[in-house]
Structure 1
Amino acid sequence: MTGLSMPHVLLHGLPPQRMSCTPVWVSTRSYHGRMGTRDRILDAAEQAIREFGIAGATTRRIAQRAACSEALLYKHFAGKEEIVLAVLLERSPALGPALAKLRSSVGEGDLDAHLVEFTGKTLEFYTRAAAVAGGVLGDPPLMAGFRSMLAKADLGPHLPIEALAEILRAERQAGRIAAGVDPGAAASLLMGACFHRASLTHFVDLPDDDATWAAAVVDTLFRR
């Protein structure tokens, strides 16, 4: 995909069949600590989205904050949709490492503790991504372009759920999850709960802390 760091894209949309291979993050910043043009554009885009929302974060505003021309912006990205996707993927906590860690511990250690840790990472990801995702949903033309890009790149928010389901299936086969638990449903419920809580935190202050909530979700879903 033009303009996107594929290793980092894979960290967010890791298909189940690739879970055994953990991509390595390759920084786009120079070894001398200077920020490259692409990084400046993404930082400027994230700032513009926070300040003006998706609709108000025009390519002109992004270019102004990145101290570059719109023409240079389009040398790095095909359009606004690609910039937004890159911000969502590269400026949010990655789910890939959390999934890879969970996958590597199948059959070993404290499963409840592993799942609670993963739930916390998932909540962190959705909380950070909610503002950007909400803006995309509220802009039909942008959403259409976003869907098209995800389809072409074989990416999407369903892939981490499928990856988690595969991990839970392996744990069930290892006898660490009850035989009656449906891995796909459990994965959807766990990640759906994280998405819901992340959305709520943008509107209200919730009474329980995230760690307590994560432990309660795992206990409820996987109690023997």
Structure 2
Amino acid sequence: MVEDEGMSKQQSGPQKHRDPTTNPYRMSRRRITTWTGALIASVVLLVVVAVVLGAIGGDSAESWVAIVLFVAFGVPVAAAAVLGGLAIASWGWVAGTVFGVGWLTLLVVVVNNGFHLLFDGQAVGPVIYDEAIWQVVGVAGLVVGGVLFFVAGWGSGVPMWIGGPAGGVDVSRRKRSGEGDAVVPPSKRKPRTKPKRRSKQQRRR
């Protein structure tokens, strides 16, 4: 009995090996799925609005289509970056914000190349639009934000993949330090365990 109690205390304490089916993120899987679905739905809805505006036409239709497309592909991705950072670490919003700003800045250049609404030297609020500078700022934001994401994952013990989970490379701290394998989602179907048959003696009793 003493040994059993000692073993139970050891098992109830902090475990070195984390269960591979445990959610490593700060947000629940349900919340992550909900936010992901909402952001994808907003992209689809705004793209439909842009298509409708383009079909209606008009003098300012092209400008509105460009604005709606920018919002459709810009804001949800930036919001996803911030939420993804918060799901990894408490300061992960910094990585998400840097990545989001870089994405929005680069997207301005991409949309402008397609619709030609801005010209070099033109004021965009308090900022002067210069395509070359905005490209550099956008790429730098994506690179720095991406690096910060990996730093946040490394510090929080969240598996960070290069090349995707399928055949990718896990660069998380837990994997390299030997504290356990990468976290994988639980299988949808659990194998059924066959009930043990009673022996003839147990049946007679």
Same fold at TM > 0.5: no
Structure number with larger C-alpha Rg: 2
Normalised to the residue count of structure 2, the TM-score between the two structures is 0.31
Q: Between Structure 1 and Structure 2, which shows a larger proportion of helix residues?
A: 1
Normalised to the residue count of structure 1, the TM-score between the two structures is 0.29
